């Protein structure tokens, strides 16, 4: 019977370890307890102080969650802005690359004119 109880406690501990519940850091617990002790009234019991500390701890946890959420939203917005900037830069470089890769008619005209000029020079030299 004692073995069965120890085994079930062990399983509960393992399940608690892997459960999706957020674990509270020791620093948060210590901070909440310090604040609760700092505001402790004369004649207040330890149980009351613990309850106050738990309330403060929950408040700290909620504050941290909100800050993390705000941070995630800000990161998402920054990533969207970065991707928008990168895509606009890519389209600008693509446009400039296409204009540079297909130079157009002007170089061909200049090439033909230079060859015609060279041909005229040779023709006039023989005359």
pLDDT in tens, 70-117: 999 999 999 999 998 888 877 776 666 555 556 688 989 999 999 999
The model's pTM is 0.49
Residue 1: band (very low, low, confident or very high) from pLDDT cuts 50, 70, 90: very low
Q: Which domain holds residue 22?
A: 2-126
User: What one-character-per-residue DSSP string does the chain give?
Assistant: -HHHHHHHHHHHHHHHHHSSSPPPPHHHHHHHHHHHHHTPPTT--HHHHHHHHHHHHHHHHHHHHHHHHHHHHHHHHHHHHHHHHHHHHHHHHHHHHHHHHS--SHHHHHHHHHHHHHHHHHHHHH-
Q: How many independent structural domains does the chain possess?
A: 1
């Amino acid at each position: 019977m004692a073995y069965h109880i120890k085994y079930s406690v062990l399983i509960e501990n393992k399940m608690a370890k892997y459960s999706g519940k957020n674990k509270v850091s020791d620093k948060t617990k210590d901070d909440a307890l310090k604040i609760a002790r700092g505001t402790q009234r004369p004649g207040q019991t330890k149980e009351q102080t613990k309850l106050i500390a738990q309330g403060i701890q929950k408040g700290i946890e909620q504050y941290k969650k909100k800050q993390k959420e705000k941070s995630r939203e800000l990161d998402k917005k920054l990533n969207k802005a970065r991707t928008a900037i990168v895509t606009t830069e890519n389209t600008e470089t693509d446009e400039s690359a296409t204009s540079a890769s297909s130079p157009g008619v002007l170089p061909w005209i200049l090439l033909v004119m230079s060859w015609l000029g060279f041909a005229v020079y040779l023709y006039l030299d023989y005359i």
